[in-house]
Structure 1
Amino acid sequence: MSDEYSIVRVDDVEPKPSKSSGTDHVDLVEQLGCTEMRPKVWYLSPGDAMSYHRQTEQEELYYVLRGPGRMKIAGELLDVPEGTAVRIPPETNRQVLNDTDSEHVWLIVGAPPATDDGRPASGDD
């Protein structure tokens, strides 16, 4: 077993816009050299929304660092309090959005570490 580890102060990394939604995020995969998961910190300003999507193979963990957060899951709009974690299986439609007046910050981790795993939401909801 390796005793190597990586550490980064997220606030010291300049967020970059997502290619698909334009939402600012810090890609911790790059920063930490992750090989078995895809963690990112997302910053949603008022009015921002990630695309409504599902995954091909990634299970995802969503954790509200600063909120409260808002999510649409399988067509249902939910309030997600700060400090709350949500697990979503690959085939379930999901979206993180901010329809409030304050910034929301999320830690989102997908595994396995598939790249370009997102796809448009299905028409089921």
Structure 2
Amino acid sequence: MEDVRRVMADDYDRIDVTEAERTPSASSGTDHVDLVTELGCTEMRPKVWDLAPDDAMSYHRQHEQEEFYYVLSGPARIRIGDERLDVSEGTALRIPPETPRQVFNDTEEDHRWLIVGAPPAEDDGEVLEED
């Protein structure tokens, strides 16, 4: 296997997410890999989010973006509106822009999510007040 963090070609970009730099989210402090920057995405906003025990993203909604959520490792937890769901590894969800949501970890295990927003609107999220 090639030991290169990022490979660019004429037709694709590739990155080893396990070796990529993780940065904290501005709103929640949750670590993530910004695949938008790493891969040069222009039509979507993919990120890999790592949630340690007791970690949580902000409770938020989007203005324009629908979001695709996929559990890479878990089991994971998500709040959609007032409902809190256990989400098993390998599960995918689509959440429309206006629906409030929050990925959180109230377990003893690390969780990893792939979250993709489209269209690629910057700063589209609105942090909501907790109930």
Is TM > 0.5 for Structure 1 vs Structure 2? yes
Q: CA offset at residue 122 of structure 1?
A: 7.4
| Alignment partner, residue 111 of structure 1 | 118
| Aligned residues of 1:70 and 1:78 also touching (Cα < 8 A) | yes
| Alignment partner, residue 3 of structure 2 | none
Distance 1:29 1:84, change over 3 A: same
Matches within 5 A, 1:64-75: 64-75=71-82
Aligned-residue sequence identity (percent) comes to 68
Equivalent residue in structure 1 for 2:99, among 92, 99, 102: 92
Mark the runs of 5 or more structure 1 residues left unpaired by the alignment.
none
Q: CA offset at residue 25 of structure 1?
A: 0.2
| Aligned residues of 2:59 and 2:129 also touching (Cα < 8 A) | no
| Alignment partner, residue 17 of structure 1 | 24
Moved >2 Å (runs of 4+) = 120-123
Q: CA offset at residue 46 of structure 1?
A: 0.2
| Alignment partner, residue 8 of structure 1 | 15
| Alignment partner, residue 52 of structure 2 | 45
| Aligned residues of 1:43 and 1:106 also touching (Cα < 8 A) | yes
Deviations 1:64-104 (A, max 9, x none): 00001100001100000000001000000000000000100
> RMSD value over aligned CA atoms?
1.4
TM-score for both structures, normalised by structure 1: 0.94
Distance in structure 2 (CA, Å) of the matches to 1:36 and 1:14: 22
Q: What is the number of residues matched between the two proteins?
A: 122
2:79 partner SS: strand
Deviations 1:11-53 (A, max 9, x none): 1112111111000000000010000000000000000000100
| Aligned residues of 1:65 and 1:83 also touching (Cα < 8 A) | yes
| Alignment partner, residue 63 of structure 1 | 70
TM-score for both structures, normalised by structure 2: 0.89
